[in-house]
Amino acid sequence: MQFMKRPEPQEGELTTDRIEAFSDGVFAIAITLLILEIRLPHSEASHESLAASLWALWPSYFAYIFSFVMIGIYWVNHHYIFKIYRKTDHGFNLLNVFFLMCISFLPFPTAVLGSHLLDVDEQRTVVAFYVFGLFLPAFSWFLTWIYACFNYRLIDLRLSPKFVRYLTRKYGLSTVIYTFALILALIQPVLGLAIAVGLTFLYLLPSKKPVYVELQED
Amino acid sequence: MQFMKRPEPQEGELTTDRIEAFSDGVFAIAITLLILEIRLPHSEASHESLAASLWALWPSYFAYIFSFVMIGIYWVNHHYIFKIYRKTDHGFNLLNVFFLMCISFLPFPTAVLGSHLLDVDEQRTVVAFYVFGLFLPAFSWFLTWIYACFNYRLIDLRLSPKFVRYLTRKYGLSTVIYTFALILALIQPVLGLAIAVGLTFLYLLPSKKPVYVELQED
Amino acid sequence: MQFMKRPEPQEGELTTDRIEAFSDGVFAIAITLLILEIRLPHSEASHESLAASLWALWPSYFAYIFSFVMIGIYWVNHHYIFKIYRKTDHGFNLLNVFFLMCISFLPFPTAVLGSHLLDVDEQRTVVAFYVFGLFLPAFSWFLTWIYACFNYRLIDLRLSPKFVRYLTRKYGLSTVIYTFALILALIQPVLGLAIAVGLTFLYLLPSKKPVYVELQED
Amino acid sequence: MQFMKRPEPQEGELTTDRIEAFSDGVFAIAITLLILEIRLPHSEASHESLAASLWALWPSYFAYIFSFVMIGIYWVNHHYIFKIYRKTDHGFNLLNVFFLMCISFLPFPTAVLGSHLLDVDEQRTVVAFYVFGLFLPAFSWFLTWIYACFNYRLIDLRLSPKFVRYLTRKYGLSTVIYTFALILALIQPVLGLAIAVGLTFLYLLPSKKPVYVELQED
């Protein structure tokens, strides 16, 4: 990706260094905590062999891998987006805390998915709750973007309006699709999960390079 | 916010870089650990549906969100305050460790609030313990400030005395209000919690810009 | 070790700073989480003395120490290897996320080894699962290296082809030996574990200095 | 404290930046994980009020506070000592991993102390195990120092031999006293714990400034 060098912040503007370092910390911790949610059932309770118990944890492994990839993708996107921000402000800092809260929440639906996916009666609830866990960061991410790009409040002034609209459509569409997957999950759990997973894998493709326009000096 | 550039530390003075990086680490970890305190009751023990169980966890969600916001606010304030410190010393480092100890303690009252808020007999204890958990960082924060600003021990010498008094009043008043909320919680739990929560939300407003006076060169 | 100064990244190339900081975070967290997997059995359940319980946890101590050393070694190697990379790209970032996923997974097989090693019936499963947990990072590490060194895609152009082949052989051989130890563990658990442990201890030796050739200026 | 500026590392020498950042990460995580070891007993199992349960956890609060202070002190000392190192090497890196392993282990004896201190029959075991947990970092710290200062292998060449001997005596004496407290704990638990706690509090005093001698230019 080719980014233009970030403009120097004006006097009195807040730079984004601190918020990036703190966010990176939360990403790294949330992603590593996921493993704590995989737990062997107590050996006294179960009469199966250990191999069978380890095998029966496959929904937990799936949930671990998928949530790990999710958080990894958001980490990459967080870095991508901060390269085209020129500053931050108080409102954005609060929205970013809200976004991090949604990211940090993910280990819980991941644990629920891992421990109850095989319970046929509860599949609908389990999948819908997990897809809701995926929807939350997508939604809060969209909010931060809308806040930042509105009237070029925080983003690089040299970004082309067309590129800004492209990102708005992209992030808005993701939120819409996760909402749709959430509703679908209440009816057809497997299909809802498949759509949410598929959408996430699309994000593994490299992001589009930002497009800049040259600004006239004032 | 407009901050003046921090003065260069004198020879032999301790700079604040390391203490800031370590504190940031503790903030990021404490905030992310909060999610580990939300746990689904064992499915064998309960006869309710998963949806009902997830719903019954709402005090845990509330506690998660509120404690997340609390720690986030302290993180923002920690950065704010370190911009107007000119150095640190051994006593301050110890007080900062005490403050971080209070921040790291928060996940425990949060877990207690989440797991026992709906137990009517224990509501008084639960809420008082949680408000105590909110009081501790406010109190230790006030201590670090008093230590730092006394005779301009550690703070920027260019800060106006009026602004220093303003911060002292602000932090002192917070401690008093949390103490009051703590006592109230023992009598009227809901009211005590409401005051503590309300006070915290006041901190979501942007902090006042520091006011400097020009110093005469010696 | 003597490394040449890394070449300045070309315009539009991704530098490795961010990926290194994030990986360091994951390493530090995964290594510290290991202790959470050591747990005292509930005192009501057991009738032994506390001293006996603490003693009976020796497989957990062994697993803790060995996994700690493992992650420590990978951390050292991660730093070593990044000193001879000149840039990163999207594919490598994804492979690195996969590698970190394998590192973060290690606490789980460690917990299984610690809690079930003394269960004679399950020794085969336990050891094989743990050796599989050691195989995963070795395998994903090998993948990242193959990707990075193929046609000098990401590595320092000044590295001698002989040295690149040496590293390829070294990492490939490790993967092969872990695979062999994994198969052996299914037949002779103790022997399989011994080989995996022995191989790891070889990595405690200092790594070979990189060998550079001088490049002609274009 | 007044430190001389660290000498520039010679070509081919390993600098200490990376090892410091990684160690800081481990310190921050280990110190924050301590709170996870405080857990409320399941409400079904106990018939006491919540207030009584919270009160009965006082050994856990004591263990939390004391271990927090301990790790905080080691973090401060780690920074202090790295200011008088001029480089690191492979052997030191391994010893530092061993030291971090001992620091990361502390949450486990802390949990044991918290959960079993009030069990009169087990007091001897509990206290001895905890003091052993305090002995380990002191011992491994001493090892790293001996390795680093032997023949001025890694330390600043300008340090006065007298000051180096002072630190050797200080760290050696600490190890000896923790060993003594450990043995005493097996006979008189309360006394052994008191000595270990008292020794730790001595470390709250500011460390002595390093003493340098001017070196002749070669």
pLDDT at site A179: 96
pLDDT band at A103 (very low <50, low <70, confident <90, very high): very high
**Total length of chain B:** 218
pLDDT tens track for D136-172: 999 999 999 999 999 999 999 999 999 999 999 999 9
CB B199 within 8 A of CB B178: yes
Residue A142: predicted pLDDT: 96
Report pLDDT for D142: 96
Q: What is the pLDDT of residue A206?
A: 80
Closest by Cα among D71, D207, D59, D218 to D126: D59
Chain D residues within an 8 Å CB radius of C28: 22, 25-26, 29
Coil, strand or helix at A36: helix
Contacts of D78 in chain B (CB under 8 A): none
C6 is a domain residue: no
Percent of chain D past pLDDT 70, that is, above it, reads 89
Please give the model's pTM, rounded to 2 decimal places. 0.89
Q: What percent of chain A has pLDDT over 90?
A: 56
Query: Considering only CA atoms, which of A114, A5, A15 is closest in space to residue A57?
Result: A114
Q: Is the pLDDT of residue A1 over 70?
A: no
Nearest to D32 among B21, B33, B97 (CB): B33
Candidate ranges B95-109, C108-122, C202-216; pick with highest mean pLDDT = B95-109
Whether the ipTM is more than 0.85: the answer is: yes
Counting one residue from chain B and one from chain D, the pairs whose CB atoms sit within 8 A come to 74
- pLDDT tens digit string along D126-137? 999 999 999 999
**What is the reported pLDDT for C125?**
92
Average pLDDT for D62-81: 91
Contact B111 D40 (CB under 8 A): yes
The answer to whether residue B34 neighbours chain D at the CB level (below 8 Å) is no
In chain B, what residues touch D1 (CB-CB under 8 Å)? 12, 14
Conformational region of residue C41, where left means phi above 0, alpha means psi within -120 to 50, and beta covers everything else: beta
**Confidence (pLDDT) at D43:** 56
Q: How many CB atoms lie within 10 A of CB C49?
A: 12
Residue D58's contacts (CB-CB under 8 Å, 6 or more residues apart) are none
Could C50 and D115 be called an inter-chain contact, meaning their C-beta atoms sit closer than 8 Å? no
Question: What residues in D contact B12, CB-CB < 8 Å?
Answer: 1-2
Model confidence at C1, pLDDT cuts 50, 70, 90, reads very low
C118 within a domain of the structure (yes/no)? yes
The structure tokens listed for D201 are: 């509090």
- Cα–Cα distance for residue pair C170/B1, rounded to 1 Å: 54
User: What is the DSSP-derived secondary structure letter of residue B46?
Assistant: -
Burial of D42 (0-12, 13-18, 19+ CB in 10 A): exposed
- Whether the CB of B1 is below 8 Å from some CB of chain A: the reply is yes
Domain membership flag for residue C1: no
Summarize pLDDT for A22-63 with one digit per residue, the tens: 888 899 999 999 999 888 876 555 567 888 889 989 999 999
pLDDT in tens, B1-46: 456 666 666 656 667 777 888 888 899 999 999 999 888 876 555 5
Residue D66 lies in a domain: yes
| Range in A85-89, A212-216, D34-38 the model is least confident about | A212-216
Number of domains in chain B: 1
Does the pLDDT at position D98 exceed 60? yes
Does A72 contact chain C (CB < 8 Å)?
Answer: yes
CA-CA distance, C33 to B50, in Å (whole number)? 29
Closest residue, chain C, to D186 (C-alpha): C51
Which residues 6+ apart lie within 8 Å of C44 measured at CB?
A: none
Q: Nearest by CB to A30, from B32, B49, B204: name it.
A: B32
User: Mean pLDDT lowest for which of B69-73, C23-27, C203-207, D84-88?
Assistant: C203-207
On whether residue D217 sits in a domain, the answer given is: no
Binding partners of C (≥3 Cβ pairs within 8 A):
A, D
Q: Taking a C-beta distance cutoff of 8 angstroms, is the pair C127, C189 a contact?
A: yes
Task: Check residue C215 and give its pLDDT.
Answer: 58
- Would an 8 Å CB–CB cutoff place A215 in contact with chain B? no
Residue B207 resides in a domain: no
HEC readout, chain A? CCCCCCCCCCCCCECCHHHHHHHHHHHHHHHHHHHHHCCCCCCCCCCCCHHHHHHHCHHHHHHHHHHHHHHHHHHHHHHHHHCCECCECHHHHHHHHHHHHHHHHCHHHHHHHHHHCCCHHHHHHHHHHHHHHHHHHHHHHHHHHHHHHHHHCCECCCECHHHHHHHHHHHHHHHHHHHHHHHHHHHCHHHHHHHHHHHHHHCCCCCCCCCECCCCCC
Q: Which of B21, B94, B101 sits opposite D65 (nearest CB)?
A: B101
Residues of D with Cβ-Cβ distance to C34 under 8 angstroms: 104
Q: Is the pLDDT of residue A149 over 90?
A: yes
Structural Rg of chain D based on CA atoms: 20
Judge: C93–A75 Cβ closer than 8 Å, yes or no: no
* Tokens describing residue B201: 């939300």
Q: Looking at beta carbons, which residues of chain A come within 8 Å of C97?
A: 68-69, 72
**What CA–CA distance (Å, rounded) separates C56 from A72?**
38
pLDDT at C61: 94
Q: B21 vs D25: CB contact, 8 Å cut-off?
A: no
pLDDT of residue D171: 94
B216 occurs within a structural domain = no
Low-confidence stretches of chain B (pLDDT < 70) are 1-14, 42-47, 214-218
**pLDDT tens-digit series, residues C64-99:** 999 999 999 998 888 888 888 888 888 898 899 999
Distance CA B192, CA B198 (A): 10
Residue C215 in any domain: the answer is no
Q: Each residue of C62-76: b (16+ CB within 10 Å) or e?
A: bbbebbbbbbbbbbb
Q: Which domain holds residue D166?
A: 17-39+50-202
Check CB contact of A31 with chain C, cutoff 8 Å: yes
Contacts of D111 in chain C (CB under 8 A): 40
CB pairs under 8 A between A and B: 74
Beta carbons of A25 and C26 less than 8 Å apart: no
